[in-house]
Structure formats: C-alpha cells, structure tokens
Amino acid sequence: MKFSVIIPVYNLEGYIIRCLESFTSQNYHPKDFELVVVNDGSTDGSLKLIEEFKNHFSDYKIEIFTKQNGGLSSTRNFGISKAQGDYIWFVDGDDWVPENSFFKLATYLEQMPNLDILEFDYELALETSNGLEYKYSGNPEAKSETVETGKAFVEAHEYSLGVTVKIYRRDFLLASSCLFLEGKYSEDNLFSLQTILKAENYYKINDVYYYYYQRQNSITKTKTAEHLTKYYDDIFHNMLEMRRITATESLAIQKTIARMNSFFVLLMMLDLFKNKKFQLIKFFGKKLKRENFYPLERVEMNYINKRKFSAFRFIVNTYLKFLNV
C-alpha cells in the first residue's frame, strides 16, 4: 500500500466530509491508500458522519480510531503508530486536496524511490462573504534542482514549517524517532525542523497539492487573554528550541532559522497590535529581549509583502530598543 493519510478529527462535523470526499474522488486505486481517521474525543456529530461515510465507501480502506481528547500532536502520534502505508501524509480534517494528487505525487515518488521527504506547495482557501477564495501561498523560489539532504535544502531555502505539505517515508519517520511535542500549539514547527535535518534525501516541488482552509475568525478574536498567552508562549518555546537544535549546525542554517523566528515574531506582534492586545505586546516584547531575539532579522520569504514586513520590522525593533526589561 502506497499512502497512509492521517486525519485528526475534533468537532469537525461541518468540514470532515469535504476532506474525506477529496480522497475518494481521486483517480487512484482504492487499495493503494488508506485513510487513518483519528477521532480525538469529539463531542459533536463528527464520528457518526465518518462511520456513515465509511459504510458508503466500503471499497476504500478507512480506519477509524477513537481516543481520549489529547490535542492535535497526540492524535498525529497515534496515527503514526497505526499507519501501514509506505508513505505518510498528515492532512487536517477541515482541509482537502486537489483531484489527481495521489497519482501525481506517486509519480514523483516512483521516480525518486529513496526520498525521505517530498515537499510541495499549497493554496489558502479563504472563507469570505462571497464564498471561498483561493490564494497561492507557496514559495516559488524554493525548488529543488536535484535530490539533496534536508540540511543542504535549509542552507539554501526557507522551507515550509507545515507538515501537511510534505509526504514522509514511513520507515524514515520510524527510524528518526521524531514525534510531535504534545500539549503545545504550532507543534508542526519543531517536527518539521527535526525531520528535515535528519533527511538524507529531500526534494521540493512547486506544484499545489493541498488546500488549507482558513476561517474568518483568527485565534486573537476568539480566544481569551489566557488562551492567547498560552498560544504565543508555545510559539516562543518553539523558537527557543529551533535555535537550540540548530546551534551546532552551519551558519547558513542558523541564519535561515533566525529569519524564520523573526517572521514568527512579526506575525505575532502584528496580530496582537491589530487586536489591541497591548499588555501582551509588552509581555512578549520583554521575553524577546531577555532571550536575545532582538533585533529582528530581515525577513526574505518571497511570498510575503516585503515592504509591509520591512516597515513593521522597523517599528517592532524600535519598540524593543526602548522597552525596559
């Protein structure tokens, strides 16, 4: 069996069928992939919908597991332990994939059978008052010319921190002993870095094989100050770990991670500023200075508004300069 698609589900009754249907509508043999659906203690009608879907599509291998609620990381780790395919694809239950994705990805993997990780691009599916709008969010400059080590790729390019835009060889994942850190937000960040640094055979393509669904309400609009503090504390923890993990790597890798960490800070500060969370701006500003994340590096991702981020970086650096720790 070629692919194991690990799909975590928690209270996604309004979205999960769209996700599942994007796989059963693939032009790919049903016996060549499995859907490992892990219900993380949902309290809505998600499980019933999934079971009905499985009964309707009996030709497909759809494995349903239910566990006590433990968060996204524990759900993905559980899915890894149950996967049987040669390759693992992590897909969130409110996202979906384009038609013929399996066939096209399988073609790449057959041409490069020793790949540990295959990375690709994605589009944001933005929820608007006029319906869904799609926006390319990949990095066209980050493209492999040949199969190389993960470290070599990071030295030359910004890589995607998301795990949903990568296909992992299952034997590689098991041998690497990499698991998602449980109890943390943005757990993709560390897992992506740890696995890419261990990959001997890495390849990045610019084709879009993933639709990332983005709802209108951001976390800063829907969460309390307590939740926000936890959310950004976890991101801050990831930044510290990413810097620690790469402390003995090449200067080029350290520079890449420094730029990515600066990008996280700018996103965090911009989000907090837009939503007038001034106390949290001061709180995290002091933490940034104490841990030597100031001044922020220039952000060079090709898919962002560079002028906007450059101006905001100047504002944040000026604010941090005069902030008393």
Judged against a pLDDT cut of 60, whether residue 220 lies above it is answered with: no
CA angle 86, 22, 54 (to 5 degrees): 80
Residue 269, both tokens: 């500060």
* pLDDT tens-place string over residues 59-105: 999 999 999 999 999 999 999 999 999 999 999 999 999 999 999 99
* pLDDT tens-place string over residues 204-219: 999 999 999 997 654 4
Judged against a pLDDT cut of 60, whether residue 169 lies above it is answered with: yes
Domain at 3-214, CATH class: alpha beta
**pLDDT mean over 166-179:** 97
Share of the chain above pLDDT 70, in %: 96
**pLDDT mean over 177-188:** 93
41 vs 45: CA distance, rounded Å: 11
pLDDT at res. 300: 67
Verdict on whether the full-model pTM lies above 0.85: yes
pLDDT at res. 218: 47
Buried b (16+ CB within 10 A) or exposed e, 29-54: eeebbbbbbbbbebeeebbebbeebb
